[in-house]
Chains A and B, each alone.
Chain A
């Protein structure tokens, strides 16, 4: 039996997927969710093989949900938005269905998934999905993180700095930090470049939270953050910071 979860904030939108799925008796809908939070919980609980995921949803949108969902199922996006859909497509989601979609189009997506199943590991899919850059203005200014079973949304203005940590990054707020499986390059590209600057191979800092820049040993500098932390600056990073601050 194949388990699936429908995640969409509009009940009628889930109804239509459920109706189309009736011609796939081997697939069982184990849960329907109204938002991303419910989605994360249900994915952890039921470990579905496939999810149908809307993108624009309250609080935690579809992309943010995928960033914190575990274990990662296969994903078919269902959305009214072209703009998002193209990104999802570029990044190897199984498929995307533009609302309203026909049964034929739905079947095509299902066929694609059934064919791919077993060929591509979910690990691979997770890799592909988790690097969808979110260029949409609204999504860019916050980061979804998971700590134990709790999901938090960190507004960009609360981030002090980001530090590379093996395959992860540590996202530091004033007092806490959160781990996230992402690359430094990913954050360098997606965070607003007016606010954030890569000052070191291992550090991205938020410019507003710098108190001052001071010399540190010979020929090197550190940035003193408002919470007292000192961030090393590489030579190139120091140059960029000077440019950015107009020194």
Chain B
């Protein structure tokens, strides 16, 4: 009899928790719930005992005597069952939350990477279009060529997947496209040097990682001086790492590169951290009038 009642109560509890998960704040509510269930059980048992053993008088007397003890017993049983279901639900829910959190985090990381990568330079775009507009009048053939270069460049920027590793060869062809466009705009001032051996060219790096570094070098090289400048890109391999150094001239009098990584390279730094969980892969240095940005890309084993 007692056992079947408890089983029934167990069923009630498990069903309740299927639909309701109390938060820890509502602990008193849970406690009340246990008390009510205990009282209910006690009452049912009391009534049923009275009915079942109506003819045994001494038993009737004893029911009352044993009632507090029974009550305690039920209370403990019900508390145990409630706690069990409560904890089980809690663990289940936490498992779900953890999974959701992981998913959210990975989505955010992807979004952030996409944003970092796609920081298209509107200034570059509009000025390039302006150059095309100028060429269209006097040198339509060159205008057409530049439209082609700009389209290829934009396509390259949009197509690549963040996580994707490309060979240095591929990345360099994209960077060269960019430099060719800048040379149309600043042909009278901008010179470039590119040195990379065959092995380095076959090494891999995250797509479009070099691009913003070269953009920075061009931007600060051109805006910090008024003379003709040379941007140099040197790539080599070292301890199974791909090392790329980008150099641009700057004016030490304005002394801006002295601060931090400066030159807006923080997005590259951030991307390297997200991909490799390391903060030491990007380095900057300056010596008299030359600013150097160096990145190291570990190669997959």
Contact = CB atoms under 8 A, between A and B. Distances in A.
B127 A10 contact: yes
B154 interface: no
Nearest to B127: A80
A35 B222 CA distance: 11
Interface residues of B, number: 26
Contacts of B138: 15, 19
Interface in A39-83: 56-59, 80-81
B137 A99 contact: no
Given A10-B185, A15-B134, A16-B130, A58 B226 contact: yes
B122 interface: yes
A12 B134 contact: yes
B184 interface: yes
B130 A58 contact: no
Interface string A11-36: 11101100100000000000000110
A84 to B, nearest CB: 10
Contact of A58 (B132, B184, B225): B225
Contacts of A56: 123, 223
Q: Which of B132, B137, B224 has the most chain A CB within a 10 Å cutoff?
A: B137
A100 interface: yes
Contact of A12 (B135, B222, B226): B135
Given A11-B188, A15-B138, A153-B254, A99 B226 contact: no
Chain A interface bracket (under 10, 10 to 19, 20 to 34, 35 or more): 20 to 34
A16 B139 CA distance: 12
A20 B166 CA distance: 45
Contacts of A101: 130
A12 B130 contact: yes
Contacts of B184: 12
A100 B254 contact: no
A9 B187 CA distance: 11
Nearest to A97: B130
A59 B225 contact: yes
A215 interface: no
Q: Which of B127, B131, B138, B251 has the most chain A CB within a 10 Å cutoff?
A: B127
Contact of A80 (B126, B134, B223): B126
A71 B255 CA distance: 31
A16 B226 CA distance: 22
Contacts of A11: 187-188
A18 to B, nearest CB: 9
Contacts of B130: 10, 12-13, 16, 80, 99-101
A56 B251 CA distance: 17
B60 to A, nearest CB: 82
B186 A9 contact: yes
A164 to B, nearest CB: 28
B122 A80 contact: yes
Nearest to A80: B126
Contact of B123 (A35, A57, A58, A80): A80
B133 A59 contact: no
Given A13-B134, A15-B137, A153-B254, 8 more contacts: A11-B187, A13-B127, A13-B130, A16-B130, A19-B137, A59-B225, A59-B251, A99-B126
Interface of A: 9-13, 15-16, 19, 34-35, 37, 56-59, 80-81, 98-101, 142, 153, 155
- Closest CB pairs A-B (n = 7): A80-B126, A99-B130, A100-B130, A16-B134, A100-B133, A12-B134, A12-B131
22 contacts: A10-B130, A10-B131, A10-B186, A11-B187, A11-B188, A12-B134, A12-B184, A13-B131, A13-B134, A15-B138, A16-B137, A37-B226, A57-B223, A59-B223, A59-B226, A59-B251, A80-B123, A80-B126, A100-B126, A100-B130, A101-B130, A155-B255
